């Protein structure tokens, strides 16, 4: 993929393709994963284009904190907090990242195994 090509998540942010959005504010967007790996599977993404955790800078501290607070709030809103859930940030090739736009997976609704595959 070239750097100038829009990612699927940028297209969702720009409303060029649909998504089942559960939360939005000026900094981030959260929506249902199209291929859920658990009964609840939400993606939380920043609106600015950061490819992965590899690119994070100190100046992103506030944004990253915000994403985690929003993640916690979404889990609470969806009623999965007390049973528990997993937050995953696949990073790069070995991390299994397929979309080069930073995203937090929220996986919930079943007991998840460890270690991951």
Q: Name the residues annotated as catalytic.
A: 103
- Regarding 90 and contact with ligand AMP (CB under 6 A), the answer is yes
Nearest to 27 by CA among 62, 77, 73: 62
Listed ranges 65-73, 76-84, 95-103, 108-116: which one lies at the site for ligand AMP (CB under 6 A):
95-103
- Minimum CB distance to ligand AMP, residue 40 (Å): 13
Task: Mark out the alpha helices in 1-117 (DSSP H runs).
Answer: 8-13, 61-77, 92-95
- Regarding 102 and contact with ligand AMP (CB under 6 A), the answer is no
- Regarding 33 and contact with ligand AMP (CB under 6 A), the answer is yes
- Regarding 35 and contact with ligand AMP (CB under 6 A), the answer is yes
Who contacts 74 (Cβ-Cβ below 8 Å, separation ≥6)? 22, 23, 30, 42, 44, 106
Whichever of 71 and 97 has its CB closer to ligand AMP, that residue is 97
Nearest to 116 by CA among 82, 91, 83: 91
């Amino acid at each position: 993929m070239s750097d100038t090509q829009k990612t699927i998540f940028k297209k969702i942010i720009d409303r060029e393709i649909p998504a089942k959005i559960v939360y939005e504010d000026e900094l981030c967007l959260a929506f249902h994963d199209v291929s859920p790996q658990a009964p609840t599977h939400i993606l939380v993404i920043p609106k600015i284009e950061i490819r992965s955790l590899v690119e994070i800078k100190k100046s992103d501290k506030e944004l990253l904190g915000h994403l985690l607070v929003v993640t916690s709030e979404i889990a609470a809103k969806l009623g999965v907090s007390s049973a528990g859930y997993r937050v995953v940030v696949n990073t790069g090739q070995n991390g299994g990242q397929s979309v080069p736009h930073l995203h937090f997976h929220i996986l919930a609704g079943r007991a998840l195994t460890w270690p991951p595959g």
